[in-house]
Every structure is written in C-alpha cells, then in structure tokens.
Structure 1
Amino acid sequence: MTETNAASTYRLPPLAWLRAFEATARHSSFTKAAAELNLTQAAVSHQVRSLERHLGFLLFERLPRSLKLTEIGAAYLPPVRRSFEDLASATDGLFGPVGNRTLTLRAPTSFVALWLAPRLKRFTERFPDISIRVASVVWAQTHYEEPVDVDLRYGDGNWPGYAVECLMTSDAIAVCRADALEQGEDDNRLVRLTARRPLIHVTGYEDMWQRLAGSLGIALPRLSGVNVDTTMAALELATAGVGPAIVQQDFAAPYLARGQLVKALDSTLPLKEAHYLVTPEGRQRTTAEATVFIAWLRTEVAGPH
C-alpha cells in the first residue's frame, strides 16, 4: 500500500493538526499550546480549525476567555493521546539509546514452551538490549497482583475489566504415535482409536473428543483416560505412547515435524478459544519494550517462519 493510498484508506489528518489539537486540549488554550509547540497562537488556531474542517465537527467551544472541548472533542482526545504515546514508545523502543531494559511477559505454560521458545531467539538477536522475564501460568482465570508488561491469555476473550486483542487462533487436531495410527476413513479410524487405548484429556477441555466425534457424525460417550493440566503434558504423554490427544495444531507442529507424533485423523476441530493480548482497562501507557515485543509477536503470528 502506498503512502497516498494508506492516508486515503485511514482518512488520517496531518500529524501537526493532531499535535495542535492534543496540546490545546491539555492546556485549554491556543496561546499555551503555541508556546509548547514553538508556534504562533494564530498557527495553532489555524491547525485546529483545519482539523475540525477535515473531520466535519467542532472539537472546541470558543468561549470569551477560554476553550472547552465539545462532547465529540472529548471523545476524540483519548485515542489521539494514546496514539501519540504508542508512537513515542515504539520510537524509543526501536531507535532509543541502548540500555539494560527488562520486559515482563505473563503467558500460558504451553504457549511459552511450544510456540514462543522456538521463536524467541529471533527477538533476542534483534533486540539484544531487552532482557525478558517470563512468568508462566496454567489458568487464565487466576488472579495475579504483580503487574506485567505483556499479558497473554488463552480463553474465550471474556475478561471483565480488561481490553483484549485476539493474537492467535488455531484449530485442534488429534495426534498419536505412528505405531498407533489407524487406517481408513476418519469416522472408522476414530472409533478404533478411542476403543483400544486410553485417551488424553486436557483439564477444562475434556469434551474435545466428543466435539470432534460430533463433527464426524459420531456419538461418542465420555471415555476415561488421563487428565493433564497443560497441552505440553498432553503432547509428552502422547509421545510416550500413553494414548492419543487432541491439541492445538500450532502447538503440535514441532512434534509432527520431528516425527515424534503423527496426525491421527485428517479432520480438524475449529476452536472458539484463542490467545489474547490482555490489558487492564484504564492503563494509560504501554512501555516501549512491550510495544516492540507485541509488534514482533504480531509479525511472528503472521509468519511464515
């Protein structure tokens, strides 16, 4: 996308107009904003009026001796301010002076071990001045007092009090060792697979085998087996030959690539759960390190690598 097309697509006003608006709103004065921006009062007033014409709305009420944000101006100010803060953080993180900086990441154990670990070297090589502290967790619902720079959770995205951004989705697949692989069509393979060996269940998602069977038109009763609390444990048990497991396809990829496991069925199971970036509502600013790390995460998810 060219610069012209991007500006047209996003209907972005010039940055100088936005700076004039933000400074004027903060000071409630064209004169004080002009002093901060090293411009004349007339220049700042002209930029704000140009922004208002561009948007088609008045952002300020011009009172006899002061300025007051209009209702739509007050609504526009927070996202403008956040955008400047995010831009400043990203600029500082990418181009600022090198120093000893630390990023604290909280993420599910399986995500850290199975998805992040094979990729993290690329981040540390690109940003060697950023140290990373990882706090692995099992349950997204657990309450943690310690603040973190980047909070990544797996679930349905419904966490009251938090703003969420879906980072990564993945279908689920059934996996097993090659010596346990059944032949034939998926429905027959599933029946034979589940009949002769214990199944591995991930706690909280024990209905996965029934859901997969239902997608194939099979009514599968709830079967006993081995329950574990992480996908990582499920994959290790499947590799040890305990039984087949249903896991996220992205997490199973390293095991499939190494030949430790194979896909037990051709079918996949879409999941409503996903990995989300989670931010407490009302948090004013994201650290420069977090801005850089999140941008890198999005690039890695977009892949391929």
Structure 2
Amino acid sequence: MAILPPLDWLRTFEASARHENFTEAALELGLTQAAVSQQIRKLEAHLRVTLFHRLARGVELTAEGDAYVPSVRSSLNALARSTEDLFGKKGSNVITIACPASIASLWLVPRLAWIREARPNISLSISAIHRPADYDAINADIEIRFGSGSWEGKISTHLFSEVLSPVCSPELAEKIVEGKWQKLPCIRLAGRRSGWSEWAIEAQVSPPRKTAVRFDSFITALDAAKAGVGVLLASLPLSKIALAKKEVVRLSPVELAMPSGNWLVRNPEVKMRADIEEVCRLISHSVGNF
C-alpha cells in the first residue's frame, strides 16, 4: 500500500488548485506563500509528478494535478463531514446546498431570509460550485444545477429558465448615439453557454464586435456592467434585483430563451429527512414569490 502524503500537504494542494494561486491559498490557510510553495514541492516530490505549472501570475494545474484534485477534494470533504457527524454539535442538522456562485449570490441569498423566517430552526450551509466536478466532491443534501434537467441517479425539479438580453449601466446608456448601442464595448463570459452571436441571430442584428473585458463569473460580469465597463448579455432572472434598482437598464426587448435551465436536484437513493424535504419545498415555492 502506498504511503499517503501528509494531510497538510493535501489541504494545501486543494486550496492552491481552487484558487490557482499560492498566495491566495496561503491567506486561506494562514500560511506564508513560501510555506505553501514548499509544501507543494514536497508533495510533488512524494508523488514524483508535477502538479502545477508555475506562471507569471498564479499557477495552473497540470494534467496529473487536474486528475488528482477531485479525489483529494472528495476525501477531505468526506473526512470533514464524518467528523462533523460524529463529533459536531448534537441536533444541529445542518442542510448543505451546493450551487454555482452566481446562483448563490444573486438568486438564493435574496430568498434566504424568507426561508429562515418560515423555518427558523433549520440551519443551512451554502457551498459555491466552480465546476461540475465540485458537486461530487461536496456531496450536498440539495443541489441547484444548470443544464437539461437530466442527471444520472438524480431527481430534478425545474426552478427557472435562463433568458438572456443586453443590459448596461444608466450612465453608459446615456452615451449611446442614435440608438446604436452595438458600438459600445461588450462584456463577454467564458464558458459554453449561448452568447452574443446567438442573441444577435434572434434579434436579427449584428452583434457587438469590440470586447471590453471577459469574465469567468457572471457575478463579476454584472458588477462590471453596473460600473459602466460595457454592455452585458445578462441573465434576466439573475439580474432582476439590479434591474429593479436601476443599477442596469435593458437595451433591447429581444430575449434569447436558452434550452437549458436551473434545477433543484437531489439524490433519491439517500433517505430524505423531513427538514430537507421542507427546504426543497420552500426553495421551489420561492420562485414565484420574488
């Protein structure tokens, strides 16, 4: 049997992989950047592989490192959950909800006070998902996923559809000349979701050509739009509060309805506690109340 690396090295590896930056991992773990770098070097020497490419700014997982992360993260989370189950506060019954950071911040958080008011004795733990593999690692009681609604071994309940339309800050909108907002710089989102080209086909117009900046997170992209950086092809459900507060304004009535949507997902093989069932019901019920 292979000798396992020290737990501290694995925790440092997981944090470094998540942040893609040794300095940010050090801040999370309460270590120095030099200590993080040293632990990673020791782990690489122990495993006899290179886990990270060292870049000018941050680090990037190698193929071996990327393959190792899910197992390490899953093991650390399993250990943490077992410790909490065995030795944590008795009767706490914390319910874990895993969802993308944008859903957590822009859709779920505004509903939490209402959910807590309805069931004040329920304790919730929200885990932000950055990529699909994180769902398996966290093994949450409830998940909110974006997709077709079909995941093997899961029960899915539709929450809301994804609809896209261009928005920008009121200040930037004032600079539009003769209604030609397509000449403004646009904000793009990395990933596989539909974008400007698909919306332009729906609207039967030419898409914006000048890119101001690209983000990998809708939260930061929306913040950039609020700040007047450019025009964002925004998720209308996730921009509802920003639109209501006039932090951004719509530039076109044309909407692109995406085939994928957002779903409440749970594992049918796990016996559902009554409090988890109640939280699922409250989340589903909140869709029409906000």
**So what's the TM-score if we normalise by structure 1?**
0.59
Alignment deviations for residues 184-219 of structure 1 (CA, whole Å, 9 cap, x no partner): 9xxx84xx323232x111211565111111112234
2:129 and 2:236 mapped to 1: Cα distance?
20
Mapping of 1:109-258 within 5 angstroms?
109-142=101-134, 144-181=136-173, 189=179, 192-197=180-185, 199-205=186-192, 207-220=194-207, 223-258=210-245
List gaps (5 residues or longer) in structure 1: 1-98
Partner of 1:294: 280
Question: Which whole-Å CA distance do the structure 2 matches of 1:222 and 1:127 have between them?
Answer: 49
What does residue 273 of structure 1 align with?
260
- Distance in 2, matches of 1:115 and 1:211, equals 24
- Structure 1 position 266, deviation (Å): 1.6
Partner of 2:80: none
Measure the CA separation in 2 of the matches of 1:209 and 1:123.
Answer: 36
Provide the residue aligned with 1:285 in structure 2: 271
Query: 2 CA distance for matches of 1:195 and 1:206?
Result: 23
2:50 paired residue number: none
Could you say if the C-alpha distance between residues 203 and 157 of structure 1 is closer, same or farther in structure 2, counting changes exceeding 3 Å? farther
Q: What displacement does 1:279 show? A: 2.8
What residue in structure 1 maps to residue 44 of structure 2? none
* CA apart distance, 1:242: 0.6
Query: Match of 2:125, as an amino acid?
Result: R
Task: Letter of the 1:264 partner, please give it.
Answer: L
Listed as ranges, the gaps of 5+ residues in structure 2 are 1-90
How much does 1:247 deviate? 1.6
Q: Secondary structure at the match of 1:110?
A: helix
* One-letter identity of the residue aligned with 1:216: A
The number of aligned residues is: 199
Larger CA Rg, structure 1 vs 2: 1
From the superposition, tell whether residues 255 and 146 of structure 1 become closer, same or farther in structure 2 (CA, over 3 Å). Answer: closer
SS, match of residue 159 in structure 1: coil
User: Which residue of structure 1 aligns with residue 68 of structure 2?
Assistant: none
Amino acid at match of 1:103: I
Task: Report the counterpart of residue 79 of structure 1 in structure 2.
Answer: none
Distance in 2, Cα, partners of 1:290 & 1:268: 35
Q: Distance in 2 between matches of 1:152 and 1:272?
A: 17
Give the aligned residue type for 1:288. A
Equivalent-residue separation in structure 1 for 2:208 and 2:226 (angstroms): 25
How far off its partner does 1:223 sit? 5.0
CA deviation vs aligned residue, 1:215-273 (integer Å, no higher than 9, x gap): 12234376534221222111100011110111211111111111111112121111112
Identity of aligned residues (%): 24
Q: 1:298 to 1:255 in 2, by over 3 A?
A: same
Q: Deviations over 1:110-135 (max 9, x none)?
A: 11111111111011122111111110
Structure 1 vs Structure 2 CA RMSD: 2.4
